Amino acid sequence: KDTIVTSSGENVYPDDVEARLGKIEHIEEYAILGVDDPRGGERIACVAVPEEDPEHDRAARHARAKQSLERALNGLPSVMRPGVTTLLDVALPRTATRKVKRRELRRLLDRVAPLSERPPRLAAQGVDASGLDAAARMVRVAVATITRRKENELRTDMSLRGDLGFDSLMLLELLVALEGQSGRSVDAERLTNCHTIGDAEALMRELRSGRTTTALDTRIEKEADEPLEIPEPMRKAAMEWLGRGQMGFYDKVLTTKVYGRAFLPHNRNTLVAANHASHLDMGLVKYALGGYGQDMVSLAAQDYFFEGGKWRKAYFENLTNLVPMSRSGSLRQSLRQAGELLERGSVVLVFPEGTRSVDGAIHEFKPAVGHLSLQYNTDILPVYLGGTFSALPKGALALRSRKVHVRIGPPLEVADLRRLTEGMSVTEASRTVARLAQRAVEELAAGRVLDLKQLTVEDVTGQKKKETLAEVFKDLESRFQVGSIEEAVSYYFSLGDGERWSMQISPQNCRIWAGKPEGDADCVLKTSPAMFTRIVREAYTPSPSEFMAGTVKSNNIGLLVTFQKAFGLQSES
C-alpha cells in the first residue's frame, strides 16, 4: 500500500485520502501522491484533470475546477490535506487495470513543477540588463528549461517548431510554464499558433496588459451552419453502399497486393499507425485489414474534411467513419477524443506524420501516437502503404498509376513499449514510442519486420541500461563482513523518487529488503540513487559540503561510518 511519510513523521495513505474525497465536482480525475519536501520527508500533493466541457473555455474550466477542488480538500483533516495542488491538461497515466501510476505521475510533476514556478527576477517590471521585459523573460526562461538550452542562445526570430524542435507535448509544457509564471490563464489555441519566440512574447505582453481575447469570445454561430443530419436507416444503407463501392475500387480498379494479414490480432483492438502520402491511404488500410478493419475509425484533419461548406461537412459526418481532429487547437481534447475511441474497443487509424508526404518518403512520426499507446494501454499495429504516392500524390486530380501494396507488421505490444521506455519522462517515452512505430513502418517498407522482443533499452536509446538499485543492494549484501561490528543496527534508505530500502545488520548477519523498516530505523540515509551507487561501488565517502548542500542527508553520521565498516567501504584516503 502506497505510503507518504511527511516531514513531521506522519504516515498518510493516498488511497485513504482519495476514498475520503470521493467524486469531486468539475474534476474528471485526480490522484493523491507524495512529492519531495525540502525539509525532509514528503509533502502531500493532489494532481487533478479538469472536466471537459465544450460550452466553457479552458480558463473557465480551470477556474471552476480549482474552486471545487479547494472546497473538497478543505474538508479533509489537516494531516491529510495536500500542500501542493496541480491542474493538468492531460489524462493521468494508468496501468492496464486503470490504477494511477503514481511514480510516473511524480516524474511528470518533477518535470512540470519547475516550469510553473515564478522565478524571483520575473516579478520585476520594466526591462532588465539584457533588454528583455517581463513577458520576454517568462518565455525565455520556459523555453530554455524545456529545450535544455541557455537563455542567451535564444533569439526572438527562432521558430518554436523548426529551430527549437517543439512538438505538441512540448507546447503543452510551455503552456503550463507560462500560466504558472504569469498566474493567469493562457489561450492554448493562440499559443499553438505562435510560430516564433517573438510571437509567444507578444502573446504574453497582451495577457499582462489585459488586452487578450480568445477565439471563443468572438465566435458567432450562424443558424445556417447547423449540421445536416441524415436519418439512421438511410445513413446505414448509404454507408454500406459506399463501403462496397470503395472496396470494389481497391479490388477491381487498382492492382492491390496485401502482405502480413497473419499478424492481425483479431482478439483485441489496436492503434493502426501508417505512413501517409495520398488520399488513397485511408481506404487502402481498410481494404487491407478486411474484417478486422470493418468498423475502423480514422482520425482526420478537421480543417480539411469537415470545413468548407455544410454539404461537405454533412457527407463526412454522416457517411464516413472519420473523426475530426484539430491540427491547431487543443492537444488535450484531441488526445482524449482518440483515447475514448480506444477505450470503447475501436480499431483506430492514425497517420502519425500529421499530413501527406510531398515526396513519398516517410517523415517523422509525431509523439501523439506514443502518448495514445502508453496512456490507453493499446498495442500499435504498423502498416506500410506502398505505391499510393505514385498513384495519387498530393495535388493530383487523377490516377497516375494503379499498382499499390500494403505490408502489415506484428503489433508493437504495449508491454514491450513500456519495458523499452522504463524510467523515461512521459514526454520522452511518447517520443521514443513514436520513433519505434516509425522504425517499424520503415522496416516494412524494406520488406522486414521489427521484433521489439529482441530490442534492449540500449538499442533504443543508444545508452547502456543503468544498473538497478536491486543489483547494487544484492552486491552490497555479498560484501558483508561477519564480526566487523559489535551490536545490531537498522538502516532506512530513501533514494530518489520511489526507491525505499531497509537493512538490519548484526555481528553475524545481514538482511536487506525493499520497502520501509519494521518500526523505527536507527539510521536514515536520504540521497540520490547515483550517489548511493557511488558510495557502494567506489567506496566513496561524501564530503562535508555535500552534507551541507543536502545532497546527502542523515540523522546519524556515526552510524554511516558503521555502515562503511560492516561492508568494507572505507576509502583508502
Q: With 80 as the cut, is the pLDDT of residue 108 above it?
A: no
CATH class for the region spanning 122-210: mainly alpha
Q: How is the chain split among helix, strand and coil, in percent rounded to 5? A: 45, 15, 40
Write down the residue that cell numbers 520522452 correspond to: 428
- Is it true that domain 224-461 has CATH number 1.10.3470? no
Rounded to the nearest 5 degrees, what angle is found at the Cα of 443, between the Cα atoms of 441 and 447? 115
Annotated domain spans of the chain: 4-116, 122-210, 224-461, 469-566
Torsion sign, CA atoms 287, 288, 292, 296: negative
Dump pLDDT digits (tens) for 110-157: 666 555 544 444 444 455 556 688 888 889 988 887 887 888 889 999
Compare 425 and 568 and report the one with higher pLDDT. Answer: 568
Share of the chain above pLDDT 70, in %: 80
**Confidence band, pLDDT 50/70/90 cuts, at residue 244:** low
Q: With 90 as the cut, is the pLDDT of residue 264 above it?
A: yes
Distance from first CA to last CA of the chain, Å, rounded? 43
Range with the poorest average pLDDT among 283-297, 333-347, 553-567: 333-347
**Residue-level pLDDT at 443:** 92
Contact 348, 232 (CB under 8 A): no
**Residue-level pLDDT at 272:** 94
Contact 169, 40 (CB under 8 A): no
Task: Give me the mean pLDDT over the 184-189 stretch.
Answer: 74
Task: Give me the mean pLDDT over the 441-445 stretch.
Answer: 93
- The fold of 4-116 is GMP Synthetase; Chain A, domain 3 (3.30.300)
Compare 125 and 420 and report the one with higher pLDDT. Answer: 420
Dump pLDDT digits (tens) for 86-104: 888 777 888 877 888 888 8
Torsion sign, CA atoms 187, 193, 196, 199: negative
Contact 69, 61 (CB under 8 A): no
**Confidence band, pLDDT 50/70/90 cuts, at residue 198:** very high
Q: With 80 as the cut, is the pLDDT of residue 33 above it?
A: yes
Q: With 90 as the cut, is the pLDDT of residue 435 above it?
A: yes
Torsion sign, CA atoms 274, 275, 279, 281: negative
Alpha-carbon distance of 6 to 13, in angstroms, equals 11
Q: With 70 as the cut, is the pLDDT of residue 227 above it?
A: no
- The fold of 469-566 is Nonspecific Lipid-transfer Protein; Chain A (3.30.1050)
**Residue-level pLDDT at 456:** 86
Dump pLDDT digits (tens) for 199-221: 999 998 888 776 544 433 333 33
Alpha-carbon distance of 271 to 375, in angstroms, equals 12
Q: With 60 as the cut, is the pLDDT of residue 318 above it?
A: no
Dump pLDDT digits (tens) for 360-410: 888 899 888 998 999 889 999 999 999 998 888 888 877 888 889 999 999
Q: At what angle do helices 368-375 and 426-445 cross, to 10 degrees?
A: 110
Domains 4-116 and 224-461 share a fold: no
Report DSSP letters for 140-176, one per residue: HHHHHHHHT--GGG--TT-BTTTTT---HHHHHHHHH
Mean predicted lDDT score pLDDT of the chain: 80
**Residue-level pLDDT at 235:** 44
Alpha-carbon distance of 360 to 526, in angstroms, equals 54
Share of the chain above pLDDT 90, in %: 29
Contact 299, 281 (CB under 8 A): no
pTM for the full model? 0.48
